[in-house]
Amino acid sequence: MKAECPFLKKLANLAFNRHMAKNMKQMLEKFTRRIETSGLVEPGGALFGMADDRIVWNRTDPAQKILEPLFSNLNINSVLFARPAFPYSVIIDFLAKTTRNSTIMPDDCETRTFLHDLPVADAFSALKLNQCLKARKSVIVPGGSIVTTGTISPEQALVAFSSVCFACFVKFFSDFLKHVQTDGVSKKEARLFSRIAPFCAELRPAPAGLVHGPFSMEDEIRTAMAEAGKKTVEAGLVDSSFGNISCFNGKTLYISQTGAFLNKLEGFIDPVPTDGSRCTGITASSELGAHLNIISATKDHAILHGHPLFSVIMSMVCDIEKCEKKGECHKSCPYDRNICQIPIVSGEVGAGPHGLCNTVACRMNDQKAVIVYGHGVFTTGKTDFNDALSRLYSIENDCRNEYFRRVRDVIGDISNLMAS
């Protein structure tokens, strides 16, 4: 047997490494395009890095020198650094400058279950980033930029980035409404609100019609689910990371996988037989139980769940000052609440006594919709997603209008607040 030539072996390794680096860069470019098309980052504004035997970046940037040490100091394989697009950038910058103890504490479900809190670094340095990212998936740095990491895939860094933008938007608008109603708005807060309110006050046009059911064939169901997911994101109702979807054909519930992007569902839909004959539910959405119970309670076959911003914001508005459950609203609320005639329920992701599987289905009314406190909206359709998507759009539009109506009721035109 001939001995392998060291030179040829070196050439082979070099070619392999180049091939791997090319594949990694293509993957990073794919995720970069995804975050740009979502509207969270301006084109060319994201710096994405991924490590295998070497570190590959989607582009060259001076920030690489600060970010590269994170790969050796933390158990991660990817880093995303970007300043979000307007209005997220100015909201995050404002919250970072006005927060206490260098930590932003949003109350939405996404933060409680995924991020916990949002640390703010006082400098963009490897040391400061490393300190914050040892215990968290994200850190906000001076200027309103965000650094997020992934331990397995760049997808995780992208989801964390989306979650920070979502949480900060919800927190700012929630806080502003509270401050308006208690005469506690600062001049800086009022100035920022007046700048971003026109951008946020209008919903995109209603989504076009979807394919009509009923569906019996698996291919029909998967196509209908993928179409509904894309239309939901395109309508600006949710970011692609925030939601799940399912369709029932009488025997099997087809549901998006956990972590699947709503506008990229092809290949990420699990068939879950209701007789328990298969274990495909292992990779299904964490809200599988809620979907199964909704199907059972409503007899509808299509479910759409998303996290529209103003629906989440308005779900957390409560006028009850002295409540024995204060601070535990997301788990168990003792009051029947609603917004825009849609029930608001408490509930946590997953099972358990306060799990969404036990709190959502029983509150589905003739509206065929429920808003979960600090979390999002569940809507249903009899045989397809047309009614579910239409309801989701209407609920978010109503909640957005209700939010700005409440602000106007107190201050009138925003210029009045600026003059006070």
What CATH number has the domain bearing residue 309? 3.40.225.10
Q: For residue 321, what are the contacts with CB-CB under 8 A and spacing of at least 6?
A: none
φ/ψ of 258, rounded to 5, equals -60, 130
Question: Identity (one letter) of the amino acid at 212?
Answer: H
In a domain, 415, yes or no: no
Query: Are both 144 and 222 inside the same structural domain?
Result: no
Would you say residue 190 lies in a domain? no
Structural domain boundaries enclosing 142 = 41-178
* 154 and 231 together in one domain: no
- The verdict on 289 and 398 lying in the same domain is yes
Per-residue pLDDT at 207:
86
Residues 131 and 271 in one domain: no
CA angle 297, 302, 307 (to 5 degrees): 95
Residues 277 and 148 both lie in one domain: no
Instruction: Yes or no: say if 343 and 371 are a contact pair by the CB < 8 Å rule.
Output: yes
Asked if 163 and 256 sit in the same domain, the reply is no
The predicted pLDDT at position 212 comes to 95
Residues 6 or more apart whose CB falls under 8 angstroms from that of 279 comprise none
Question: Are the C-beta atoms of residues 340 and 313 closer than 8 Å to each other?
Answer: no
Q: Examine the domain organization and report whether 143 and 235 are in the same domain.
A: no
On whether residue 383 sits in a domain, the answer given is yes
Contact 220, 253 (CB under 8 A): no
Whether residue 71 sits in one domain with residue 120? yes
At 419 the pLDDT is: 53
User: Within a domain: residue 184?
Assistant: no
Domain annotation covers residue 6? no
H-run or E-run covering 190: helix 187-200
Measured CA to CA, the distance from residue 273 to residue 281 in angstroms comes to 9
What is the pLDDT at residue 318?
A: 83
Segment-wise mean pLDDT, segments of 10 residues, the chain, 420 residues: 54 50 84 88 94 89 96 94 96 93 84 82 95 94 94 91 94 94 90 93 84 93 96 87 90 91 92 75 78 93 95 89 70 80 85 80 86 94 96 95 93 63
> What's the pLDDT at 127?
95
3-state secondary structure of 50: strand
Asked if residue 24 belongs to a domain, the reply is no
Q: Is residue 129 part of a domain?
A: yes
CA dist 212 and 383 (Å) reads: 8
Phi, psi of 382 (to 5 degrees): -60, -55
Same domain, 254 and 346: yes
Contact 167, 115 (CB under 8 A): yes
- Work out the angle between the directed axes of helices 187-200 and 154-181 (0-180°, nearest 10): 120
Nearest Cα to 88, choosing from 166, 142, 163, 141? 166
Co-location of 106 and 224 in the same domain: no
| Number of domains within the chain | 2
Q: Is 383 exposed, middle or buried (0-12, 13-18, 19+ CB in 10 A)?
A: middle
Domain end (from 126, 146, 178): 178
Determine the residue type at 213. Answer: G
264 and 361 within one domain: yes
Question: What pLDDT does 15 receive?
Answer: 46
Residue 319 lies in a domain: yes
